[in-house]
Structure 1
């Protein structure tokens, strides 16, 4: 009985569906012998498929692409067989000692099938425990491509020898069991150059071919495909089993990070749509809520928007500007200098907290406002002595001086403090318990966030390390609830209030190059923005500002799907970048935040909104 490989009618593969299980085992080192270090580069990169071209010359198998490139020192034995034998002995009969994964060796016959294939079999027969999976289930798979015997001759060769398939070839069921792979020239199906998407008609044609191969229980590889990130991404979305590459390290890096650069929605919230009531009746500014998404750039925002299926409360704010983030001593700021620009209105050096580039202390916003009896609240879903919250109550030349920063709070007029790291207040080298001292200053102290509703009017401190837990690891609604509760506590302040709330862990996700981390924190931050906007709609004298101190991760978005909340991105760094960050504003004086300006202007715009004029 014979079976023709027909193209299956109907798309079983959904283009752009995503395929989350890709690893370096899905990588194929094309013409591997042309690398500076044949075999070992692909092996140590964890590739699941490695290709070598061979020629039969005087009873020996030589490795070369063209016959005129044959070199007596480059034999299949030297470059592949003996290295594989060595590593199997070293790893106790496995390709990799740490797991049971194996790989396939794709051998392209350049010279005539015979005697080339028989020479190969004689060499491999010496090591059945390495090349025969019936002898050793962890043995590698040998697949013959290029020149091949007719399918009717497959059974003349040992059953550990497999063959690359041909779509136009008829195979019996028994023969198909010897065809685990189909390697096709992509250029025969599309002229696509790897940029943007494959044309729709070509996608249909290619998808049908992929599905037909998968229906046979075989895997597929396209050679001649563009060898760039966008092409790898598109081929993954099409569920191509092996990605063909001549760029081992780049593809390995892409695949090793693949699961950290993808996200598909697991939660969704309804974006808050403000009333824009302040537009109808201009009001003075009595309250300012500044929300800082630490490390939040445009890509973070749009990733969050896409993951939330095309909705963010932040994007419902009408007035938008851009802040230039460089510090006094660096094109790329850190949170100390970036936050200090907001808090004291001065450019300063990286690592500085509330002092200028010369180390001179300047009054921060809460200190300036306290002279007018305006209350203040500082909130973070991170260490409350970390740079961004610290700049609003401390003055130190080094951001790591946590105990000194906590001590500065003892002299700060801030009325509400919510965040993590209580130990820096209670278990100190100087033996002091700052929380006991703060109780004497009439602060309500809460050490368990679950007790936050016990707070009533007056000064309050909430310190709970649950604040420093990530959303991925189970943090609750600490940030949005802290914003809501602080608004409740301060709503009746006669002269108004200033609040800074930080989405600290957007930055952490950027540093980790973890898209899920970034997006989960981004969406939590948006919920906090929703609470601020809701309060502003109840109190038309409230100005809400949303911005970032810098961008982290250098994120680019390569693909997305609004209906699935799916994002596919890349990180260019695990640190901060120098790109401008957006500023969103809502409420009276929000139009003042339009344009492009230095980050220090945010300080000036805030105090001007409060009616304070500084010379």
Structure 2
């Protein structure tokens, strides 16, 4: 019994993968017999066309490309027909959504005669008028003359290989049209085809489709760029020696491609106070959680090649490493911004040894500054919490919330109301008025205000959050204007990070575009309020994101992901307003704190 267990489980795994591989594209497993597990790998990848090179030798149909590579145990029957029969018996196949493309390497008529004799021993598999869901064989390589096609049974079709397509061909017996891609283009799958060659490919595909037949190119480039290009062109069977990789790429392509329906307006700054040597009276620290250069680029390309962020002239790069790890988390990254000290991952406002670290709101309160935080996350999320809490574990939500009433913050906006309901009296005793709606928040006369926008987490942009971030920021600016004091405001766009973790292009782009709308309004505010310094950065990059392809005219970008976690990639920093030139170059994340403190000290003089 045990000796049959592993093969049975092995087949079940392939059956499960086949079920998951239902797709709107079709793959041709080229030279399938060279795969480590012929037939099964292509079958599990959902291949719709599986190529078998055959040689007639001593009355047997051998699976091989040339006689020198023949192995006696590898026959058409043993490698393909018998496994297919077994898959049917096991219930893995109830109808055939694939065919075998049999490439005859020896003389056409005699080879095809023996192929038919072998296949005829499996009559229940084969297509017929009585079995319309059966298996078809498409004969390629050495083939009979077209005028003889009609003499072969229903389950035998042919691969036509010529540019000369006319109505008088025996189309009822032609299963597909295949040609070498090299007849049309020298493209190697890197970059893109030149326009003249591309048009030739399009014209041929259109011609084949006029006869209602599928098209395939062999000797074609076999890469991600090529697979996407062939899918976009409408190639019916995408030729590949990597069916599993091609399936995984194309099946997730829709999730990784985003196309913006509308372009967002971009505010053009006046630059009147940008880089000016003047006192810093207001600091806006805008943090895009998980936001790396590729994330910014994806939004820029989706928006037709421009962003509010792209208007900023002073920029640099930040090294994000934590005290105890090459790759930081948000807690350690935000603590570096808030305190100027490296700490261990998961720690908030405490050093590697657990010592309490003074944060920016606490330090600035001594200089007469008011402070606030806004986040699309919950208020107890790692990034906002680093600006008020002092705790070694970011997931201790209740303990972290307990630091808020004792903090130096005057304004708090974000999700997670359910956590703070238990602290209602503590918040009230600390002077916090709980706003029940966003409208009018900026006119509230209380010294301290908290607005919790949701019981738990806020929705993403894709799920209808709308202009929450910008509206809250503008209300916050009104609130601080009433105080007539200098202020520090940290605003976090938290869900760019979520998109990186989920490897979701649409989440990344929509969240980054929302962040950019905020940036535009904050630049507009800075232009009207001299002495406002805006610093825009990220705590880390998430997803190891790249941008292999895109289209500016369509606002389309394709993102690739190396990871579903944070990475150690340098992240950009941008600055606008007085002394913005101080943020050029490559710097450690702790230097942001140091520069802000230094600039405020200069302003004191």
Same fold per superposition (TM over 0.5): yes
Give secondary structure in 1 for the equivalent of 2:372.
strand
- Measure how far apart 1:368 and its partner are: 0.8
Give yes or no for contact 2:440–2:475 (8 Å, CA) kept in 1.
no
- Measure how far apart 1:229 and its partner are: 2.1
Query: What is the aligned partner in structure 1 of residue 80 from structure 2?
Result: 80
- Measure how far apart 1:169 and its partner are: 4.8
Change (3 A) 1:400 1:134: farther
Change (3 A) 1:613 1:343: farther
Gaps of 5+ in 2: 1-20
Give secondary structure in 2 for the equivalent of 1:499.
strand
Query: What is the aligned partner in structure 2 of residue 440 from structure 1?
Result: 429
Change (3 A) 1:471 1:344: same
Among 575, 584, 587, the alignment partner of 2:565 is: 575
- Worse-matched range after superposition: 450-459 or 182-191: 450-459
- Alpha-carbon distance in structure 1 between the residues aligned to 2:180 and 2:493: 48
Give yes or no for contact 2:268–2:308 (8 Å, CA) kept in 1.
yes
- Measure how far apart 1:304 and its partner are: 0.2
Change (3 A) 1:130 1:468: farther
Change (3 A) 1:455 1:216: farther
Task: Show CA shifts across 1:175-204 (max 9, x none).
Answer: 223323222212232222222222232222
Give secondary structure in 2 for the equivalent of 1:315.
helix
Task: Show CA shifts across 1:393-433 (max 9, x none).
Answer: 1111111111111111121111111112222223xxxxxx1
Change (3 A) 1:244 1:356: same
Query: What is the aligned partner in structure 1 of residue 525 from structure 2?
Result: 535
Among 379, 386, 395, the alignment partner of 1:384 is: 379
Query: What is the aligned partner in structure 2 of residue 521 from structure 1?
Result: 511
| Match runs of 1:551-590 below 5 Å | 551-590=541-580
- Measure how far apart 1:93 and its partner are: 5.0
Give secondary structure in 1 for the equivalent of 2:147.
helix
- Measure how far apart 1:567 and its partner are: 0.7
Change (3 A) 1:553 1:138: farther
Give secondary structure in 1 for the equivalent of 2:387.
coil
What is the root-mean-square deviation of aligned Cα atoms in Å?
Answer: 2.4
| Match runs of 1:204-219 below 5 Å | 204-219=199-214
**Is 1:412 aligned to 2:407, yes or no?**
yes
Give yes or no for contact 1:339–1:549 (8 Å, CA) kept in 2.
yes
**Is 1:251 aligned to 2:240, yes or no?**
no
Task: Show CA shifts across 1:543-599 (max 9, x none).
Answer: 111111111111111222222101122111111111111111111111111111111
Among 472, 475, 483, the alignment partner of 2:462 is: 472
**Is 1:132 aligned to 2:127, yes or no?**
yes
Change (3 A) 1:486 1:148: same
Change (3 A) 1:555 1:281: closer
Give the count of matched residue pairs: 583
Query: What is the aligned partner in structure 2 of residue 10 from structure 1?
Result: none
Query: What is the aligned partner in structure 1 of residue 47 from structure 2?
Result: 47
- Worse-matched range after superposition: 339-348 or 125-134: 125-134
Give yes or no for contact 2:25–2:231 (8 Å, CA) kept in 1.
no
Query: What is the aligned partner in structure 2 of residue 327 from structure 1?
Result: 322
Query: What is the aligned partner in structure 2 of residue 296 from structure 1?
Result: 291
Query: What is the aligned partner in structure 2 of residue 402 from structure 1?
Result: 397
- Measure how far apart 1:314 and its partner are: 0.7
- Alpha-carbon distance in structure 1 between the residues aligned to 2:444 and 2:156: 74
- Alpha-carbon distance in structure 1 between the residues aligned to 2:308 and 2:144: 64
Give yes or no for contact 2:441–2:476 (8 Å, CA) kept in 1.
no
Change (3 A) 1:455 1:556: same
Task: Show CA shifts across 1:289-329 (max 9, x none).
Answer: 11111111111111100101122101111211111111112
What TM-score does the superposition give when structure 1 sets the normalisation length?
0.89
What TM-score does the superposition give when structure 2 sets the normalisation length?
0.91
- Measure how far apart 1:75 and its partner are: 1.5
Query: What is the aligned partner in structure 2 of residue 359 from structure 1?
Result: 354
Give secondary structure in 1 for the equivalent of 2:472.
helix
Query: What is the aligned partner in structure 2 of residue 8 from structure 1?
Result: none
Query: What is the aligned partner in structure 2 of residue 429 from structure 1?
Result: none
Task: Show CA shifts across 1:460-483 (max 9, x none).
Answer: 222233862111122221111111
| Match runs of 1:50-449 below 5 Å | 50-91=50-91, 93-94=93-94, 102-132=97-127, 134-169=129-164, 172=167, 175-279=170-274, 282-426=277-421, 433-446=422-435
- Measure how far apart 1:231 and its partner are: 2.6
Give yes or no for contact 1:24–1:47 (8 Å, CA) kept in 2.
no
Change (3 A) 1:335 1:210: same
Change (3 A) 1:200 1:443: same
- Worse-matched range after superposition: 340-349 or 208-217: 208-217
- Worse-matched range after superposition: 134-143 or 375-384: 134-143
Give yes or no for contact 1:319–1:584 (8 Å, CA) kept in 2.
yes
- Measure how far apart 1:119 and its partner are: 2.7
Change (3 A) 1:170 1:567: closer
